[in-house]
Amino acid sequence: MASILHIDSSPRGERSKSRQLAKEFITAWQDRHPDDAIAYRDLRQTPVPHVTEDWIAAYFTPPEALTPEMAELLKFSDELVDEFLAADRCVFSVPMYNFSIPSNFKAYIDHIVRVNRTFSDENGQFKGFANGKKVLFITSRGVEFGSGSPYEGWDAQEPALRYPFQFMGVTDIQFIHANGLDLGDDARKRGLNEARSKIQALVGSW
Ligand SMILES: Cc1cc2nc3c(=O)[nH]c(=O)nc-3n(C[C@H](O)[C@H](O)[C@H](O)COP(=O)(O)O)c2cc1C
Tell me if 111 sits within 8 A of 45, measured CB to CB: no
At 142 the pLDDT is 98
Q: What atom of ligand 1 comes closest to residue 12's alpha carbon? A: 27
- Kindly state if the Cβ of 98 falls inside 6 Å of ligand 1: yes
- Kindly state if the Cβ of 21 falls inside 6 Å of ligand 1: no
**pLDDT tens digits, 38-60:** 999 999 999 999 999 999 999 99
Q: What atom of ligand 1 comes closest to residue 11's alpha carbon? A: 27
At 112 the pLDDT is 98
Q: CB 125: neighbour CB atoms within 10 A? A: 7
At 6 the pLDDT is 98
Residue ranges making up the domain that contains 92: 3-203
At 34 the pLDDT is 97
At 170 the pLDDT is 98
Buried b (16+ CB within 10 A) or exposed e, 26-49: bebbeeebeeeebeebebeeeebe
Collect all residues with Cβ–Cβ distance below 8 Å to 98 and sequence separation of at least 6: none
Q: Are strands 125-128 and 119-122 parallel, antiparallel or unpaired?
A: antiparallel
If you measure from the C-alpha of residue 70 to the centroid of ligand 1, how many angstroms do you get, rounded to a whole number? Answer: 36
- In the chain, how many domains are there? 1
Distance between CA atoms of residues 100 and 3, nearest Å: 28
Name the average pLDDT for the chain. 97
CATH of the domain at 127: 3.40.50.360
- Kindly state if the Cβ of 100 falls inside 6 Å of ligand 1: no
At 40 the pLDDT is 98
At 158 the pLDDT is 98
At 11 the pLDDT is 98
Tell me if 91 sits within 8 A of 2, measured CB to CB: no
Residues in the chain with pLDDT values less than 70: none
> First-to-last CA distance in the chain?
14
- Kindly state if the Cβ of 95 falls inside 6 Å of ligand 1: yes
Residue closest via CA to ligand 1's atom 22 equals 95
If you measure from the C-alpha of residue 167 to the centroid of ligand 1, how many angstroms do you get, rounded to a whole number? Answer: 26
Three-state secondary structure call for residue 91: strand
- Kindly state if the Cβ of 142 falls inside 6 Å of ligand 1: yes
